[in-house]
Amino acid sequence: MTISAFDIAILGAGPVGRVLALMLARVAPNPSRIALLQGASPAAATPAAAIPAADPRVLAMNHGSRVLLESLHAWPAKAADILNIHVSQRGRLGRSVIRNTDFNVPQLGCVVAYSALHARLEECVAASGVTLLSGPPAVVDGQDADGVRISQGDTALACRIAVQSDGAGGSDVRRDYGQHALLTTTHASLPRRGWAWERFTAEGPLALLPHPQTADAYSVVWCSAPGRAAELAALNNTAFSHALTAAFGDRLGRLTCQAPRHVFPLALSARRGLVQGRVAVIGNAAQTLHPVAGQGLNLGLRDAARLAQSLGGWLAQPNASPTQALQDFARARQVDRLITAGVTDLMPRIFATGLAPVEHACGLALLGLDLAAPLRAPLARHLLQGFRA
Distance CA 298, CA 294 (A): 8
Rounded distance between C-alpha atoms, residue 287 and residue 170, angstroms:
7
Q: How far is residue 362's CA from residue 364's CA, in Å, rounded to a whole number? A: 5
Q: Determine the residue type at 200.
A: F
Residue 256 scores a pLDDT above 80 = yes
Could you tell me which residue, 344 or 379, shows the higher pLDDT?
Answer: 344
Whether 48 maps to a domain, the answer reads no
Per-residue DSSP letters for 312-366?
A: HHHHTSTTS--HHHHHHHHHHTHHHHHHHHHHHHHHHHHTTS--HHHHHHHHHHH
Length of the chain: 389
Contact yes or no for 199/96 (Cβ under 8 A): no
Nearest CA to 157 out of 320, 312, 11 is that of: 11
Cβ neighbours around 5 below 10 Å, total: 12
Q: In this model, does residue 266 exceed pLDDT 60?
A: yes
CB 351 within 8 A of CB 358: no
Residues 6+ away with beta carbon under 8 Å from 281: 163, 164, 165, 170, 271, 274, 275
pLDDT at 49 over 50: no
Determine, yes or no, domain membership for 204. Answer: no
pLDDT at 200 (0 to 100): 87
| b/e sequence 113-140, b meaning 16+ C-beta within 10 Å | bbbbbbbbbbebbeebebbbbeeeebeb
Residue 23: the pLDDT is 98
In a domain, 360, yes or no: yes
Range of the domain at 343: 4-42+63-77+115-172+269-385
Residue 240, helix vs strand vs coil? helix
Q: Is the pLDDT of residue 2 over 80?
A: no
Question: Residue 301 carries which side chain, given as an amino acid letter?
Answer: L
pLDDT band at 383 (very low <50, low <70, confident <90, very high): low
101 falls within a domain: no
The residues with which 5 forms a beta bridge, in sequence order, are 158
DSSP-assigned letters across all residues of 258-320: -S--EEEEEEEEE-S-SEETTEEE-GGGTEE--SGGG-HHHHHHHHHHHHHHHHHHHHTSTTS
pLDDT confidence of 51, banded at 50, 70, 90? Answer: very low
Return all residues near 34 (Cβ < 8 A) that are at least 6 apart: 6, 7, 8, 9, 10, 21, 24, 25, 28, 130, 131
In a domain, 284, yes or no: yes
Contacts of 274-277 spanning 24+ positions with Cβ under 8 A:
274/303, 274/329, 274/330, 274/333, 275/326, 275/327, 275/329, 275/330, 277/143, 277/148
> 182-196 in b/e burial notation, b at 16+ Cβ within 10 A?
bbbbbbbeebbeebb
Task: Name the pLDDT band for 52 (thresholds 50, 70, 90).
Answer: very low
pLDDT of residue 1: 63
Beta-bridge mates of residue 151: 139, 156
Instruction: Tell how far CA 69 is from the center of its chain.
Output: 14
Average pLDDT over every residue of 292-313: 94
User: pLDDT grade, residue 382 (50/70/90)?
Assistant: low
CATH code of 336's domain: 3.50.50.60
Dihedral pair phi/psi, residue 86, rounded to 5°: -105, 120
Q: How confident is the model at residue 111 (pLDDT cuts 50, 70, 90)?
A: very high
Whether the predicted pLDDT of 190 surpasses 60: yes
pLDDT in tens, 174-186: 999 999 999 999 9
CA distance 350 to 313: 44
- Among 22-31, 94-103, 152-161, 259-268, the range scoring the smallest mean pLDDT is 94-103
Write out pLDDT tens, residues 316-352: 999 999 999 999 999 999 999 998 998 888 877 665 6
Residue 279 inside a domain? The answer is yes
In a domain, 194, yes or no: no
Check pLDDT > 50 for residue 354.
Answer: yes
pLDDT band at 48 (very low <50, low <70, confident <90, very high): very low
Q: Is residue 87 part of a domain?
A: no
- Is the pLDDT at 93 greater than 80, yes or no? no
Number of domains in the chain: 1
Q: What backbone torsions phi and psi does residue 287 show, to the nearest 5 degrees?
A: -160, 140
pLDDT-based confidence at residue 101 (cuts at 50, 70, 90): confident
Cβ atoms 210, 111 nearer than 8 A: yes
The type of residue at 365 is: A
